[in-house]
Amino acid sequence: MNRRAFLQKSGMGALQLGLVSFWANHAFAEPLRSSLLPRSLPEAQGINSAGILDFVKAIETQKLNLHSLMVLRHGKILAEGWWAPYRADLKHTLYSLSKSFTSTAIGLAVGEGRLTVQDKVISFFPDQLPSEMSDNLKKMRVQDLLTMRTGHGKDSTPALREAADPNWVKSFLAFPVEREPGTFFVYNSGATYMLSAIIQKLTGQTLLEYLTPRLFKPLGIAGADWEVDPNGINTGGWGLRIKTEDIARFGQLYLQKGLWTGKRIVPERWVTEATQAHVPSGDPESDWTQGYGYQFWRCRHDAYRGDGAFGQYCVVLPKQDMVIAITSETGDMGAILNEVWKCILPAVSERTSGGAKSIQTALKQKLATLALPIPAVQSSTPELSAINHKKFSFDSNELNVKSISFSFEANSCKFSLENAEGIHAVHCGLGKWKEGFTDISTLPLKLAPTLVPGETTNRIAASGTWLDPKTFEMTWRFIETAHYDTVNCKFEGDTVKIAFRRSLAILGNTADSRPILTGKMVG
């Protein structure tokens, strides 16, 4: 399956607002004792600020919808920014960038002598095997899982997620292996899931539990969480959430060949093996055909990366001693990398340009004012008094919505939805973001991605405006994910029509699968 086809099928589950930007006026000689990486100025580390500024302007001009950016060189953060309402202290869904962390767990387990990459996959699950096994299944190795050369003709993930049997390991082992393992590459998140299952089988710990003392704690990564399958096995190929700076630390660890503050965290041999091409390269102009390693992609310019759907990136440039961390929701992942090569890479120079101070100031100001667009605010309408604090009821519908109501105040609106489980609210700012928590995503509406274990609410930033005198539209950003929803409410007399649209539908210019609901005012 090619990368474009994979992205089309992905979506696996799938405060002070504004930018948090940290700038120091000098370079630190030693790492900070706190959890923060040391900060410096671009020119102090041999990068022209103008190149980073050009990158930010380019991705905004192309509407590539970045949520965060962090640029490091020589182990120091030179530029960082978050597009409000995203910010530094929030986790972000990584999608397939999670795979690189799963690969690292295998590397750690190999280093501990728990397994080798030549071990057969079936050897770990003797009680889960199909009654009849093909020769190809018998040949499949851990290395084939790592390199996505399992022999499957297509991604096994849909078969795992949609099977009547909740045992994903059993479903994977029963999935037809059409080719000899090790001979055919197909992007296959189910293969990464099996790496997670192997870790849990070997250690009795989930992937997250296993990585926490070995990787996350040494790197200062706190609060990570990871989605699970129906049997409590971390999904492996997707579902990890960490902060942008955590992504940067992970990249810096690999750049340092597995060392962190002088201590060996990941075996150097594993770093080398994992980031070299095991799958041959192809088109020299594409960042998806430079070769594939152990859940890492090779890039142009002799770089490598972990990446995830919709633009989650950890890019490592060994020759330049650089790491770039990015989160986003984009429909054109390649365009982001193109601008990295076009703007940031040429800015690397030990002899930086004159006039650096003015450019540094411009970059700092730009990073300090990043924000995703909010529709121009119209906070009121002549129709407001007729609908304010009124309830609208709905006939039986597939979303199981019984009623909704709106409560408008001077600068906010409370949207309430009732179903059989109770009343659920979203608080919206008018022409601005209002942050809070909502459990509306746990309803059959499924307005947000799958929740992680134990999570009953989602962090949300919401904003609303009147598009015209009869149409109120809300934007609900689930700000620890890549995604958002728009909720369009059109009033006509004593009725309201509610239309939901996911950001993925907006990106793909497709219709939302949820029906338009029509409610009638009561009371």
Please tell me the distance from the alpha carbon of residue 47 to that of residue 29, in angstroms, as a whole number. 18
Contacts 24+ apart (CB under 8 A), 315-319: 315/251, 315/340, 316/251, 316/254, 316/255, 316/275, 317/345, 318/255
What's the pLDDT score for residue 447?
44
The answer to whether 156 and 192 have CB atoms below 8 angstroms apart is no
Please tell me the distance from the alpha carbon of residue 416 to that of residue 408, in angstroms, as a whole number. 11
pLDDT in tens, 396-420: 998 899 999 999 988 899 999 998 8
pLDDT in tens, 142-182: 999 999 999 999 999 999 999 999 999 999 999 999 999 99
Please tell me the distance from the alpha carbon of residue 18 to that of residue 299, in angstroms, as a whole number. 33
Go through the domains of the chain in sequence order and give each one's CATH number.
3-90+247-253+293-367 (no CATH), 91-242 (3.40.710.10), 384-522 (2.40.128.20)
- Tell me how far the alpha carbon of residue 12 is from its chain's centroid: 10
pLDDT in tens, 451-479: 577 788 889 999 999 999 899 999 999 99
When pLDDT is cut at 50, 70 and 90, the band that residue 8 belongs to is very low
Please tell me the distance from the alpha carbon of residue 23 to that of residue 325, in angstroms, as a whole number. 17
Question: pTM score, two decimals?
Answer: 0.91
